[in-house]
A and B are shown apart, each in its own frame.
Chain A
Amino acid sequence: MITFNSVSKRFADGTTAVDSLSLEVPDGEIAVFVGPSGCGKTTTLRMVNRMIEPTDGVIEVDGKNILKEDPAELRRRIGYVIQQIGLFPHRTIRENIGTVPGLVGWDKKRTQERVDELIEVVGLQEDSGDRYPHELSGGQQQRVGVARALAVDPPIMLMDEPFGAVDPIVRTRLQEEFLRLQQEVQKTIVFVTHDIDEAIKMGDRIALLSQGGHLEQYATPEEMLASPANEFVADFLGGERGLKQLALISVSDVDAQSGPVVTLEDTRAHASEVAGDANTDWVVVVDDARHLRGWVSIEELNGQRNVGEGNIHAFSAEVKSGDSLRTALNAMVTSRTGVAARVGEGGIYEGIVTHRLINEELSKPAQHTPD
């Protein structure tokens, strides 16, 4: 756990970078510090490993005041990843990753084994180990940066815009891989970004800072989106707050409605009745094994004996339980039926997602514990 206790930083020229900041980063969570430039987010991050010393206040790591520790020793227990990566150009990838193990005195064999493991964990090609940093692409270099920071398995990581310098496609991939990795390694992470979308995606908690290092709100992304503390927060979150919120909720978090559903053998009359009950002019069609076949409009069933003879349309998009409600909403607005069909393993129909379900979900009070 990292604790900031009334931490301030004023620079010699009189500017205040951080203003009496108090917050806690719980074990195993990612706290994202986000805000416009000049909000002191990087300064705050750099105070944790004493690259910058606070003017006032106390920072504790696991209850110990870091100002009472030897800075070099402290830093070896804190992983550090920055946007510019800062790999050592004169050392091979393996040697770069083995930097901190070397500093803390691991023997060669242990270091080698750990380096091999990390090359795999961060998704580097095995043969890149003996290359020099300049021979790798930016995305690959940042993988090395992450591996180097993880080398001695430090409990804490500081990440300053770690994926800021790579193109959007690589960034998305690195973000997702890192989140997967984090589920395994459970580091306590301070993560700095200026990008609110990245903050929402990566953060278990978000600390939103404004100019001069004022903490405007410290909350889970869900809480912040559902109830921004003030206008500054609301502005910073941007105009699509509802959509951003939906992106954080997965389809499986809401109960699907069974919807007006019929089988291929059902008669037109039955289908018409089911549609009437649901107040729609269409029905969902499944086969005997409840595989989703599509939907059919009642009007088009005129003159047909049963549903199977009708003109069955595929849903423009099917959603799975792992998809977000935002994806479901997209499926809804592109489908003539106005709903998204939800399918499970092997294409089994699970129900429909409707506008009402989404409205209900958004009007619920925010969840306080991210899962």
Chain B
Amino acid sequence: MDWGWVQDHLDEIQSLFFQHAQFTLLALVYGFAIAFPLALAATRWPRLYTPILGLTGILFTIPSIALFMLMMPFTGPTATTCLIALTIYTLLVLVRNTVEGLRGVPREVREAAEAMGYRRFKQLFRVELPIALPVIIAGIRIAVVTTIGLVTITALIGFGGLGALFIDGFRQAFGTPIIVGFTLSVLFAVVADVALVGAQRMLTPWARGAGGR
């Protein structure tokens, strides 16, 4: 471990970390923006669920490097390529957990809401989504942790956040950048996950001790 190298490269490490965080956040935001309407559609029309899940599932199984190669002819080695890939990988878990969360709303609760005189959209946003929130957040947690890991791979096309440190280290057969990159990305994942758990506890005080509902 060469602390002198770390000292000399603090600025670089910092900007790589921000890039990493930025990619993660954007991938999640785009992913959710696509997954949420898909999940609503799959809940509203159950017949759509299997094809939607199948499609996002197939996308999820494409090896990341193969996906980059597939996209190269269209978007080139750009940040866009990275973001599209990262976004695609979040879809499966976000769609699945949102649908499962909404399906987990007890039938009698939905029936009661309807009978109280809720209109469809208000019922969705005021009753069903809040009740589905713990399951949805569980999906977001998985997506965040997975994405933080995946960002390091996008370093292969030049936009990899902390992953760039791995490549540097390999090229120079020099361990320090690898250790720094590894430690920071693991720490980032852990901190993000803990933060999401905290957010969930704050947003769903009713779910404590409710048997995980």
Contact = CB atoms under 8 A, between A and B. Distances in A.
B116 A82 contact: no
A18 B91 CA distance: 46
Interface stretch (A83-91, A228-236, A269-277): A83-91
A90 B126 CA distance: 10
Given A72-B119, A75-B114, A76-B116, A89 B206 contact: yes
A44 interface: no
Contacts of B210: 89, 132, 134
Contact of A86 (B111, B204, B206, B211): B111
Contacts of B113: 86, 88
Contacts of B107: 84
Interface in B87-131: 106-109, 111-119, 127, 130-131
A84 B206 CA distance: 19
B130 A90 contact: yes
A103 B117 CA distance: 7
A266 interface: no
A76 B117 contact: yes
B118 A132 contact: no
A299 interface: no
Contacts of A74: 117
Contact of A103 (B108, B116, B207): B116
Contacts of A51: 111, 114-115
Nearest to A71: B117
Given A89-B213, A132-B206, A134-B211, A72 B118 contact: yes
Given A90-B130, A90-B206, A91-B206, A82 B213 contact: no
Nearest to A145: B112
A148 B113 CA distance: 11
B108 A89 contact: no
A235 to B, nearest CB: 32
A103 B118 contact: yes
Given A82-B108, A85-B108, A90 B131 contact: yes
Contact of A73 (B109, B111, B112, B117): B117
A99 interface: yes
Interface centre among B109, B113, B133 (most CB of A within 10 A): B109
Interface string B161-191: 0000000000000000000000000000000
A75 B112 contact: no
Interface in A70-115: 72-76, 78, 80, 82, 84-92, 99-100, 103-104
A90 B204 contact: yes
Interface residues of B, number: 24
A326 B118 CA distance: 46
Contact of B112 (A87, A103, A132): A87
A72 B117 contact: yes
Contacts of B204: 90
A82 B112 contact: yes
Interface in A139-177: 148, 158
A206 to B, nearest CB: 24
Contact of A80 (B109, B112, B206, B207): B112
A49 interface: yes
Given A86-B108, A89-B206, A134-B211, A80 B116 contact: yes
Interface in A7-28: none
Given A87-B109, A89-B109, A49 B131 contact: no
A100 B116 CA distance: 6
A251 to B, nearest CB: 41
A134 B108 contact: no
B117 A86 contact: no
Nearest to B123: A72
A91 B206 CA distance: 7
A326 B127 CA distance: 48
Contact of B117 (A82, A100, A158): A100
Interface centre among A49, A82, A99 (most CB of B within 10 A): A99
Contacts of A75: 114-117
Contacts of B133: 90
B102 to A, nearest CB: 14
A357 to B, nearest CB: 47
Contacts of B130: 90
A316 B56 CA distance: 78
Nearest to B134: A90
Contacts of B117: 72-76, 100, 103-104
Interface of B: 106-109, 111-119, 127, 130-131, 133, 204, 206-207, 209-211, 213
Given A75-B116, A89-B210, A91-B206, 20 more contacts: A75-B114, A75-B115, A76-B116, A76-B117, A80-B112, A80-B115, A80-B116, A82-B112, A85-B112, A88-B109, A88-B112, A88-B113, A89-B206, A90-B133, A90-B207, A99-B116, A103-B117, A134-B206, A134-B210, A134-B211
23 contacts: A72-B117, A73-B117, A75-B117, A76-B117, A80-B112, A80-B115, A82-B111, A82-B115, A84-B106, A84-B107, A85-B112, A86-B108, A86-B109, A86-B113, A88-B113, A89-B131, A90-B130, A90-B204, A90-B207, A92-B206, A104-B117, A132-B210, A134-B211
5 closest residue pairs by CB, A with B: A86-B112, A76-B117, A84-B108, A86-B108, A80-B115
